[in-house]
Structure 1
Amino acid sequence: MTEETHVLDRPPEGAAPDWTISQNWQAYTAEEHATWDTLFARQAKLLPGRASKAYLNGLDALRLSDGGIPNFEELSERLMKLTGWQVVAVPGLVPDDVFFDHMANRRFVAGNFIRRPDQLDYIQEPDVFHDVFGHVPMLADPVFADYLEAYGRGGNRALDLGALKQLGRLYWYTVEFGLIEEDGNLRIYGSGIVSSFAESIFALEDPSPNRIRFDMKRVMRTEYRIDDFQQNYFVIPSFDELLRQTVETDFAPLYAEILAQPDIPIAAILPDDRVLTRGTQEYAASKA
């Protein structure tokens, strides 16, 4: 089921107008199921004591340990009973407005392809392991499920206001690479971390990155890179607080303020940051 590229500018033949396609679960090969099982086994061993309670609870509730690439229909049935979300297959990265509309209607879009065995540690485009193992367990948490729906509802407004880049940074530093404080310890919940063996360790244990208390305005001004470990991680105190800030914020004046200000470099620390861990930046220096 692997293709050369999964970045598309129009629905491929056979796709619905909303870009959804059949998962075609029966077409997965034994090798592809084995790739999922290999990825799952090493992350499942690594994440206890590192991942948030919400993520680990979702992993169990959705029975993702059953073996093989999950069938989206069966997965959606379990998820619908918990939070009203479902998982729908798409051929790859979809346009922003399509992505936001699905999310606003509690449909999580997931690629139906899986990386090759020689890509276990890194793949540039999100595959079914990143999308399902990384994202879907968090959708079993009612508060985080509400947060993602609210994010989707705000997406097209951001497009209209010319602030897609700023809103995308909020997604990046929460949904993809967020940390949370639980019982006095830092835990990971972002999908880009929980689905990555190396970054699951780096995000919590390496001395290089900064770990900074979450501030929405600050996050939406902060640049990021997609091809390496993060050098700033933002830490939320709770999912309730993340949801509260999202639903209570009037984003139009916030966008206007942010768009008039310069972007913040990736690894910068500002004078008013609440820094939990000031990083050494040794990793970034080694890559320079």
Structure 2
Amino acid sequence: MLDETDARNRYRTAPKREDYTIDQQWHTYSAEEHDRWNRLAKAVTELLPGRAAPEFIEAVQTLDLSGGGVPDMEKLSEKLRPLTGWSVVPVADLVPDEVFFDHLANRRFPAGAFIRSEAEMEYLEEPDIFHDVFGHVPLLADPTYADFMEAYGKGGQAAMERGQLHNLARLYWYTIEFGLMRHADGLRIFGAGILSSTGEIRFSLEDTSSNRIGFDLERVMRTEYEIDDYQKTYFVINDFKSLLSECYGDFSALYDRLKGAEDIAPDAVLDTDRVFHRGDMTYFKKT
């Protein structure tokens, strides 16, 4: 008998290969699931102009993710691979860290195959195919961002050996998942955790509650984060080229400094921060 978690995610009991990939079995998605994808994509796409990074908006169109139902990852990879060498591989749920980093280091993005239920349309605790594919995959069509993701995968392997994966996880959280970037007309979103949530798309840019602070690698790696609510701080990069430049290389000296440094609270603003907006935390005082 399936427990509640397995019933919600039918892929959880699917046979796994050594690299934790599974068969997506695209033909098994129901008409209701395809419709759910289309409604999610429509709701998010309508919010993108003036809020999302132009590179993201362009890639959503290039990869045709906005209205054709749940994507077939094999066919999606056929579009993506000629652009940057990346592919998308289906997995049942979150994979072990060493497996995740190996996939990224070899330009494979592991994406959850299940799609959220109707009850979870607005908020989902674990990543589903909409979060992983609509949120993460479009920017893998951008050559510079694609290089950054590969570098992150290789860096993860090194961080595990040093026992400092928690520091590198913060970099992933505050850029790949919840990153903002500068644009001539204001701040824009590139983080997948924001771009797969209609609520956080608005909140991250327009609500007065959260801090928006200029990206600093060491600062980010010291900063704790929220896992079950909107973020109290969003970090702002200049562009993907500068992000890659700062994060490409040996972090050994940085990790040595971090071992003796105190963690920074998610809502903190330091005297050394480059502040785009100091949050008033109003939202968080109500919850």
TM range (shorter): over 0.9
1:106 aligns with 2:107: yes
**Residues 131-174 of structure 1 deviation map (CA, whole Å, 9 limit, x = unaligned):** 00000001010000000000001111100101100000000000
Q: Secondary structure at the match of 2:46?
A: helix
Aligned ranges for residues 155-174 of structure 1 at < 5 Å? Answer: 155-174=156-175
Code of the residue aligned with 1:19 in structure 2: it is Y
| Off by >6 Å, runs of 4+ in structure 1 | none
CA-based RMSD: 1.5
Deviation at 1:65, TM superposition (A): 2.4
Distance 2:13 2:148 in 1: 30
Aligned ranges for residues 186-201 of structure 1 at < 5 Å? Answer: 186-201=187-202
- Counterpart of 2:271? 271
Q: Is the 8 A contact 2:226 2:232 kept in 1?
A: no
Give the number of aligned pairs. 281
Deviation at 1:97, TM superposition (A): 0.2
Q: Secondary structure at the match of 2:75?
A: helix
- Counterpart of 2:124? 123
Deviation at 1:259, TM superposition (A): 1.7
Deviation at 1:3, TM superposition (A): 6.6
Distance 1:65 1:123 in 2: 20
- Counterpart of 1:251? 251
Q: Is the 8 A contact 2:14 2:22 kept in 1?
A: no
Distance 1:282 1:89 in 2: 39
Distance 2:274 2:45 in 1: 32
Q: Give the TM-score normalised by structure 2.
A: 0.95
Can you give the 5+ residue segments of structure 2 that lack an aligned partner in the other structure?
A: none
Distance 2:139 2:227 in 1: 21
Report the identity percentage: 52
Cα separation, partners in 2 of 1:41 and 1:254, compared to 1, 3 Å: same
1:37 aligns with 2:11: no
Code of the residue aligned with 1:142 in structure 2: it is P
Distance 2:20 2:144 in 1: 27
Can you give the 5+ residue segments of structure 1 that lack an aligned partner in the other structure?
A: none
Aligned ranges for residues 205-216 of structure 1 at < 5 Å? Answer: 205-216=206-217
Cα separation, partners in 2 of 1:201 and 1:25, compared to 1, 3 Å: same
Q: Give the TM-score normalised by structure 1.
A: 0.95
- Structure 1 window deviating more from structure 2 (12-21 vs 64-73): it is 12-21
Deviation at 1:107, TM superposition (A): 0.2
- Counterpart of 1:141? 142
**Residues 237-280 of structure 1 deviation map (CA, whole Å, 9 limit, x = unaligned):** 010000001114x3111111112111000100011001011111
